[in-house]
Structure 1
């Protein structure tokens, strides 16, 4: 409860307050991508599909020592891969900063190689950056979260350079939307979506 209250306060003031765009900031027309791992990719994908500005959220694997690994291979924990979601977004509508804020709200960045009952290196908390700008933005928000003492335990989210991203099998895509009434979706994914909708209610896509 303490953590939720802190996040609600930070959503409206301080770290999680949405930054206002300067009138002099030039608008870009190209889309951007960022790759995030926060436990089961079904959960991460389901949240970002509802954030304004996100064009797509694709479940897959990255950080793998094995070329084009299968879900079954990744589940062994021997490939080095993490379940990750590659997010494509319009920087005119959302921002990398906002995407990171959502990320640190809907998963626990203090549990090493675990989210809930899902355990193993494939479920690690990680940001896979593709350039120094993304790396610096990730470092900045982690520093701010630590300074604000939002979490009772140390943040263990790793910052890893993005190598190859492999899209997961088709049945993993849009998993929540296609399987809403399965127990895992109801008990694990739905609470994350509800938390996101509560804290970022002004940033939801219209349904």
Structure 2
């Protein structure tokens, strides 16, 4: 059996990110939650400093961390600080939570590549933050757009063509 890996990304409201990533080839599971903040056991109502993030479980023989990052930069606006769609605040920041130096290096390379393409009007402001603890969100936030197909999301594929 293949070993799975996990990636941790934040790009605005976690509902839309989860919905799009769940359908990606090689993605085996997704979970929304809070990461990068100040308190233990954060909740939707109290998560100071935490980003609304997503934990992606993927099969590295079917997709790579780099391919996940490529898609990440196509489904949210990485050029806005603490903002996606109508959502404002550090909870909605664009961030990559790297688990090791290889992931950090790939993230830096991908940001450089995305900036070089000039597809976005501004420069990428996505932060690179060391992975800490991922706290799963409450059950009502998991698979939210599956249960509420007309629910709010600001995520969609802005570019069909990959950066890589």
Say yes or no: does 1:127 pair with 2:115.
no
Task: Measure, in 2, the Cα distance between the counterparts of 1:51 and 1:145.
Answer: 20
Q: Does 1:73 align with 2:46?
A: yes
Does 2:23 correspond to 1:32? no
Please list every run of 5 or more consecutive structure 1 residues that lacks an aligned counterpart in the other structure: 1-27, 201-207
Q: Hey, what's the Cα distance between the residues in 2 that align with 1:156 and 1:58?
A: 24
Q: Does the alignment pair 1:60 with 2:44? A: no
Query: Greater share of helix residues, 1 or 2?
Result: 1
Q: Indicate the RMSD between aligned Cα atoms, in angstroms.
A: 1.6
Could you tell me how far 1:151 is from its partner in structure 2?
1.7
Cα offset, 1:157, TM superposition: 0.2
Show the counterpart of 1:177.
Answer: 146
For residues 107-146 of structure 1, what are the structure 2 equivalents within 5 Å?
A: 107-146=76-115
1:97 corresponds to 2:57? no
Q: Which has the higher contact order (CA 8 A, sep 6+)?
A: 2
User: SS of 1:33's equivalent?
Assistant: strand
Q: Report which of the two structures shows the higher radius of gyration computed on alpha carbons.
A: 1
Q: What displacement does 1:29 show? A: 2.6
The structure 1 segments of at least 4 consecutive aligned residues displaced by more than 3 Å after TM superposition are: none
Instruction: Work out whether 1:43 is the aligned partner of 2:12.
Output: no
In 2, Cα distance between equivalents of 1:134 and 1:167: 22
Could you report, residue by residue, the CA deviation over 1:82-126 in whole angstroms, capped at 9, with x for unpaired residues?
A: 000010100111111110111000000000000011000000000
Whether 1:86 aligns to 2:68 is no
3-state DSSP of counterpart to 1:36? strand
Q: What number of residue pairs does the alignment pair up?
A: 161
Distance 2:32 2:98 in 1: 16
2:46 alignment partner, SS class: helix
Equivalents in 2 of 1:85, 1:100: separation in Å?
13
